[in-house]
Chains A and B, each alone.
Chain A
Amino acid sequence: MEALANLGVNWKLFLAQAVNFLILLFILRRFAYRPMLDFLEKRSERIEKGLQDAEAATKKLSEMEEKEKKVLTAARSEAKTLIEAAETAAKKRDALHLAATEGKAKQFLEEARTKIEEEKKKVLLEAKREIAEVVALSVEKILKEKVDATKDKQLIQEMVK
């Protein structure tokens, strides 16, 4: 013990140093290490989660791209068939339309023709009658006499026939 005292060891100081260190240890443990380590752990967890999220996001993105491609090709083919169908339908309709107009035109033509025929007949009839009258008048003039109206008409009728 005397040797230790010569080296400056003093039980009061020794105790004071020990207590000082223990107090420092407890204060640091409570107010520095625990919050710090918790914080570090939380952050590393967060980083890990962030990395996982990023990975999931890229995976999802590629999936979406694939889906998009599929949808696009499907849409394209559908559009193609739609266009084709529309084209054929339009062609059909055109043909029908054409036939209908043709028919109508024919009908018009026919109608016109019959009308013309009728007109022709009418005109002809009128002409005959006029001619008959003219002939009658001329005959009357030639004969300078009138038999009588009824006989005359009869005669003219026979002549014209």
Chain B
Amino acid sequence: MEISIAAEKLFSIGGLPVTNAFLIGFLVSVFLILLTQIVVKKMALIPRGAQNVLEVIFEGLLSFIESVLGDKAQARRFFPLITTIFLFILVSNWIGLLPGAGTIGLTHLKDGQATIVPFLRSTSADLNFTIALSIIVVLTIQVSGIMALGIVKYGKKFFVSPFHKPYGLGTIMGLLELVSEFAKLLSFSFRLFGNIFAGEILLIVMLHLVPYFIPLPFLFLEVFVGFIQAAVFAMLTLVFLKMAMMEGAH
């Protein structure tokens, strides 16, 4: 049993080390594109099968986004980002739970001992992905805030003159707010990574301790956690977007 915090390298293409997490990320993307294309191409007025499921997800998400943003046009503008985050994280989280995660893979020798580099590793259990996604999200939040309020007004949220009403207190609060914008980056990426990675390790450990039945509740738990983490990431993105586009309360 070998637990590696980093995603393991399978092979490399032209200098890019392809890790199992990246491979899964790519496959999840292909899966989502194919799934939506199949549904979109066969879209019928009376929904059936997969179309029903996707419609429920899309309609639910759209109405939720609309209720948070309070504006229909804005809801449609941010719908793609929120939905893609949710679907991508959800599917990649659940793929890590499939049987074979951690057991099927390339063998490779390490310190004279044969170990397995598994093919399946949830993309969310790779810091490269979570940090990349966090940076995309945080940048989107800042850009949306600036576009909605204008750069001066948006900047005033963080840089408050100490000679106005709360006298100095506002300045400190503003600076704290600025720090929290950077903290978002860390909290976003490490929350997702930590939860999913810990879940995978938990499953591996349980499987090694008691191979039958006992790991089952933990598997259910991880299915739940996978959904919750996807929802949390998407919702926090949405809420932060809304907060960035609102005028400062202080």
| Chain A positions near chain B (C-beta within 8 angstroms) | 4, 6-10, 12-18, 20-25, 27-29, 31-33, 35-37, 39-40, 43, 46
> A76 vs B135: C-alpha distance in the bound complex, in angstroms?
83
The reply on B5 being an interface residue by CB < 8 A is yes
Q: Are A33 and B79 interface neighbours, CB within 8 A?
A: yes
The reply on B43 being an interface residue by CB < 8 A is yes
> A43 vs B107: C-alpha distance in the bound complex, in angstroms?
53
Residues of A within 8 A of B26 (CB): 20
Identify which of B33-41, B110-118, B174-182 touches chain A.
B33-41
Number of interface residues of B (CB under 8 A): 42
> A101 vs B191: C-alpha distance in the bound complex, in angstroms?
120
> A33 vs B62: C-alpha distance in the bound complex, in angstroms?
11
The reply on B83 being an interface residue by CB < 8 A is yes
What does the 1/0 interface line of B5-35 toward A look like (CB < 8 Å)?
1110000000111010010011001001100
The reply on B80 being an interface residue by CB < 8 A is yes
Inter-chain residue pair count (beta carbon < 8 A): 111
Q: Are A8 and B40 interface neighbours, CB within 8 A?
A: no
> Shortest 4 CB-CB distances between A and B: which pairs?
A8-B6, A32-B36, A18-B132, A29-B80
Q: Are B29 and A18 interface neighbours, CB within 8 A?
A: no
- Shortest C-beta distance, A26 to chain B (Å), equals 8
Q: Are A12 and B62 interface neighbours, CB within 8 A?
A: no
Q: A8-B126, A32-B40 are in contact. Are A18 and B136 (CB under 8 A)?
A: yes
Q: Are A8 and B7 interface neighbours, CB within 8 A?
A: yes
Q: Closest A residue to B15 by CB, please name it.
A: A12
Q: Closest B residue to A4 by CB, please name it.
A: B127
Report 11 cross-chain contacts, Cβ distance below 8 Å, ordered by A residue: A8-B7, A12-B16, A15-B132, A20-B25, A21-B29, A25-B84, A31-B37, A33-B80, A36-B36, A36-B54, A37-B79
Q: Are B131 and A35 interface neighbours, CB within 8 A?
A: no
Residues of B within 8 A of A20 (CB): 22, 25-26, 29
> A105 vs B135: C-alpha distance in the bound complex, in angstroms?
125
Q: Are B43 and A36 interface neighbours, CB within 8 A?
A: yes
Task: Please pick, from A13, A27, A35, the residue contacting B33 in the complex, using a CB distance under 8 A.
Answer: A27
> A79 vs B79: C-alpha distance in the bound complex, in angstroms?
69
Q: Are B22 and A35 interface neighbours, CB within 8 A?
A: no
Residues of A within 8 A of B59 (CB): 40
Q: Closest A residue to B7 by CB, please name it.
A: A8
Q: Are A14 and B80 interface neighbours, CB within 8 A?
A: no
Residues of A within 8 A of B132 (CB): 14-15, 17-18, 21
Q: Are A17 and B40 interface neighbours, CB within 8 A?
A: no
The reply on B247 being an interface residue by CB < 8 A is no
> Could you tell me which residues of chain B, from 29 to 73, have a CB within 8 Å of some CB in chain A?
29, 32-33, 36-37, 39-40, 43, 45, 54-55, 58-59, 62
The reply on B218 being an interface residue by CB < 8 A is no
Residues of A within 8 A of B19 (CB): 13
- Shortest C-beta distance, B55 to chain A (Å), equals 7
- Shortest C-beta distance, B128 to chain A (Å), equals 4
Q: Closest B residue to A23 by CB, please name it.
A: B29
> A35 vs B54: C-alpha distance in the bound complex, in angstroms?
13
Q: Are A37 and B58 interface neighbours, CB within 8 A?
A: yes
Q: A8-B5, A22-B136, A43-B45 are in contact. Are A17 and B129 (CB under 8 A)?
A: yes
Q: A36-B54, A37-B79 are in contact. Are A21 and B133 (CB under 8 A)?
A: yes
Residues of A within 8 A of B84 (CB): 21, 24-25, 28-29
